[in-house]
A and B are shown apart, each in its own frame.
Chain A
Amino acid sequence: MIRLENISLSYDTKTPILSDVSIHIEAGSFHFISGNSGAGKTSLLKLIFLAQRPSAGEIFLFGQQVSALKRHELPDIRRRIGVVFQDFRLIDHLDIYQNVTLPLRVAGQREVSYRENARELLDWVGLGERMHALPATLSGGEKQRAAIARAVIARPHLIVADEPTGNVDSEIGDRLLRLLEELNKMGTTVMVATHDQHIWRSFAHPRLHLSQGRLELLR
């Protein structure tokens, strides 16, 4: 599913963010990525969800070498990855239904083909009653659930979440994690970056710990 080979990343020559990182993530797995603030969790995720190029090394996603892909081939890979951002990144002037269904609209699907599925998904994440609300009127937990719904609506093979519980209280955070576990049980590979010890202690999944640019697998 995901293979990183000797990945290094640095924004300047002095302090590397990632240094010679190699990992192999199996399809259908659930991993936490831990590390202190600034350890490089977001940078690692950005490499995986194709928002950044490594300074050195190779990334393989879904069996394809990313560096060998042409620019116009990258969007199709991105559509197979659902990303949940810490700051939600919902589009302010679109209601929740429009935000959540945006990946399908971008993929060129007609609304009639996904309307029912989108409603079911919104019901599943508990936003069925609020589908026509604007993001500004939603609580942090509701926004995060909308962000998760947007990440999963196109049935991605991989979900990457960057501090998904960072802006919600612990009870809602646990519910969001259970939501991601349910998706994982349906076969979706999940990677969650978090610095919250409570999260990785409460959920029994392997953890990739980042420290000083190095990645260590902890079980």
Chain B
Amino acid sequence: MSQPAAKNILPRANMAGASLGAVTMVMSFLACLAIGAALLVSISADHWLARATSAMTVQISDTDAMTADDQRVAVMRELMRFPGVLAARPLTSNDMIELLEPWLGTGNVSDDLPLPVLIEITPDAKLQANAEALDIALRSVAPGARLDTHGRWRETLTQTTTILRVFAGLVLLMVALASITVLIFAIRAGLMANAEILQVLHQIGAHDRFISWHFEQHFLRLTFIWAVLGAVLAGSLFMALGEVMAELQNYQMLMWLVPVPLGFSVLGWIVTRRHVLRSLTNLM
């Protein structure tokens, strides 16, 4: 009669294993969600800032000496030759009406409403630092011209995104701390559920490293498998939500989830090793 293959000394499936698995998966999923949320905030903040800094506007008003239309030609000429201006486009009256309609209501912008001439500029990155020189240059050719870099609004946006990033970082930190704490408790509970096996192995003459190796191997595999499941679940959710938010379908972002199951496994291994060796020391 043939013998069955030597079984694992620790049970692959018992109540402690199932509980630890469930807790590990949930915490891994939450940790991945927190990472995703933090990254999403960061990516969105970058986009908002990039869009805010990618536009400047020149507003031209009539002066005693020149009409706004006369000044527009001079301003366009100056913009075309000024370094760092990638594109300049005068807004049409329809563009202006579209801008005003959210405040005044559709069809309420009358023809006799005095509207300034607006020119939208697409600057390169260096022009932001050189905006004052551009403003001086434009005023020299058109006294009614005024460059608007949206500086105050950009400043507010920068502060807001910084605060959002800090909040996202704090949430991530808290979820990480909660994950670590819950995982430590779950692993300890799992180890305690198998305490009798540890005692039997110790009593029949197993060396500490033999016992520890078996427990480490068991709990490392358990935490890794379930943490990967949690991360895959979170990644799948991001991909599904990518239909409504394109930033979520960023594969580089998914790469940030990879350290989660690895971190959980390393934590599981360290906690198991420490707990087992300490328990063995207490047993004599």
Contacts and interface: CB of A to CB of B under 8 A. Distances in A.
Interface of A: 49-53, 71-72, 74-76, 78-79, 83, 89, 91-95, 97-98, 102-103, 105-107, 111, 115, 132, 150, 154
B201 A106 contact: yes
B155 to A, nearest CB: 65
B252 interface: no
Contact of A49 (B7, B197, B203): B203
A154 B206 CA distance: 13
Interface in B203-224: 203-208, 210
Interface in B1-20: 3-4, 6-7, 9, 11, 14
B200 to A, nearest CB: 5
Contacts of B250: none
A106 B206 contact: yes
Contacts of B14: 93
A166 to B, nearest CB: 18
A78 B200 CA distance: 11
Nearest to B5: A111
A106 B210 contact: yes
Contacts of A91: 9, 196-197, 200
A49 to B, nearest CB: 7
B11 A51 contact: no
Q: Identify the 8 closest CB pairs spanning chains A and B, nearest first.
A: A79-B205, A78-B205, A93-B11, A106-B206, A103-B204, A75-B205, A75-B207, A89-B200
B7 A93 contact: yes
B270 to A, nearest CB: 21
Nearest to A93: B11
Interface string B190-201: 000000110111
Given A53-B284, A92-B11, A93-B11, A111 B3 contact: yes
30 contacts: A51-B203, A51-B284, A53-B284, A72-B207, A74-B284, A75-B206, A76-B205, A78-B203, A78-B205, A79-B204, A83-B203, A83-B204, A89-B203, A91-B9, A92-B11, A93-B11, A93-B14, A94-B9, A95-B4, A97-B3, A98-B6, A98-B7, A102-B201, A102-B204, A106-B206, A111-B3, A132-B4, A150-B204, A154-B204, A154-B205
A139 to B, nearest CB: 20
Interface of B: 3-4, 6-7, 9, 11, 14, 196-197, 199-208, 210, 283-284
A71 B206 contact: no
B222 to A, nearest CB: 15
Given A74-B284, A91-B200, A107 B205 contact: yes
Contacts of A52: 284
A53 B282 CA distance: 10
Contacts of A51: 203, 283-284
B266 to A, nearest CB: 27
Contacts of B283: 51
A2 to B, nearest CB: 17
Given A75-B206, A79-B204, A103-B204, A89 B199 contact: yes
A94 B7 contact: yes
A89 B205 CA distance: 15
Which residue among A49, A52, A91, A94 has the maximum number of chain B CB atoms within 10 Å of its CB?
A: A91
B215 to A, nearest CB: 14
Contacts of B210: 106
A52 B202 CA distance: 12
Contacts of A103: 204-205
Contacts of A92: 11
